[in-house]
């Protein structure tokens, strides 16, 4: 079976992506070591890859055994709710380190394996990567940067398929934190489910080989 690496696979959208891809792909579930990540891997018969995107210097040794990779899904990310004046430089540094620099570092290390497979790189971006969201200053900026990296990768690596997925608000723990920051009551029924976003993402991966889906925008109905 083709191989797929998913970052941030211990829960939420990452685990849903793993569920959706498990029937058709051999899974490499990447993330910080945890019981949750181990549980997802055990349930799906997948392999865990201990990976901290905030530590790019450690990435080469972790992924060195991978010589061919069909799909890389960048799902891991952090968000610190806050308008510009409420943010700190440390929050910006942490957001960029994980959401952008970590994704860049992992992609660069896996480029030979992706080229060998004629692979597909998928970036789970956000609506905030198209229009800045109030109260998500550093997160929005990181997603704009991630979109730029995806566009550059697509332009420079013609043998690869590169897709940016821009979902609206998803019913996740991160969303619950944002709603609390906004002072509203959290109702998961108002947002996209992780299963829906996972299925939309997998549809880009399983598109016919002559199709190259550059960007997907999906919003709650």
DSSP conformation letters of 188-210:
GGGSB-HHHHHHHHHHHHTS-TT
Q: What are phi and psi of 161, to 5 degrees?
A: -95, 140
pLDDT of 124: 97
For residue 221, is pLDDT > 80?
A: yes
pLDDT of 177: 72
pLDDT of 102: 97
Spatial separation of the C-alpha atoms in residues 99 and 91, rounded to whole Å? 12
Q: Which residue in 139, 181, 186, 191 is the catalytic one?
A: 139
Spatial separation of the C-alpha atoms in residues 104 and 53, rounded to whole Å? 10
For residue 190, is pLDDT > 90?
A: no
pLDDT of 158: 96
Question: Number of folded domains in the chain?
Answer: 1
pLDDT average, residue stretch 162-176 = 85
139 is catalytic: yes
pTM, to two decimals:
0.94
pLDDT average, residue stretch 10-19 = 94
pLDDT of 186: 76
pLDDT average, residue stretch 96-120 = 98
- CATH code for position 28: 3.40.50.720
For residue 64, is pLDDT > 80?
A: yes
Which token pair is 167? 């979902």
Which token pair is 67? 């010589």
pLDDT average, residue stretch 124-131 = 95
Full domain range(s) for residue 212: 3-218
Least confident of 2-6, 7-11, 183-187: 183-187
pLDDT tens digits, one per residue of 198-218? 999 999 999 999 999 999 999
pLDDT average, residue stretch 30-47 = 94
């Amino acid at each position: 079976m083709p191989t797929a690496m998913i970052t941030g696979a211990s829960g939420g959208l990452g685990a849903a992506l793993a569920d959706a891809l498990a029937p058709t792909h051999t899974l490499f579930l990447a993330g910080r070591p945890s019981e949750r990540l181990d549980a997802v891997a055990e349930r799906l018969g997948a392999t865990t890859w201990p990976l901290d995107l905030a530590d790019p210097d450690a990435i080469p040794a972790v992924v060195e055994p991978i010589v061919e990779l069909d799909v890389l899904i960048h799902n891991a990310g952090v968000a610190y709710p806050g308008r510009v004046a409420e943010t700190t430089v440390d929050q910006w540094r942490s957001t960029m380190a994980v959401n952008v620099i970590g994704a860049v570092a992992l992609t660069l290390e896996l480029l030979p394996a992706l080229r060998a497979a004629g692979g597909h790189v998928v970036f789970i971006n956000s609506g905030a990567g198209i229009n800045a969201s109030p109260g998500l200053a550093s997160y929005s900026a990181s997603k704009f940067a991630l979109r730029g990296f995806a566009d550059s990768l697509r332009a420079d690596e013609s043998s690869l398929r590169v897709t940016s997925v821009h979902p609206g608000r998803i019913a996740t723990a991160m969303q619950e934190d944002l709603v609390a920051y906004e002072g509203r009551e959290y109702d998961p029924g108002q947002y996209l489910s992780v299963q829906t976003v996972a299925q939309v993402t997998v549809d880009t991966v399983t598109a016919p080989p002559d199709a190259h889906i550059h960007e997907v925008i999906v919003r709650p109905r």
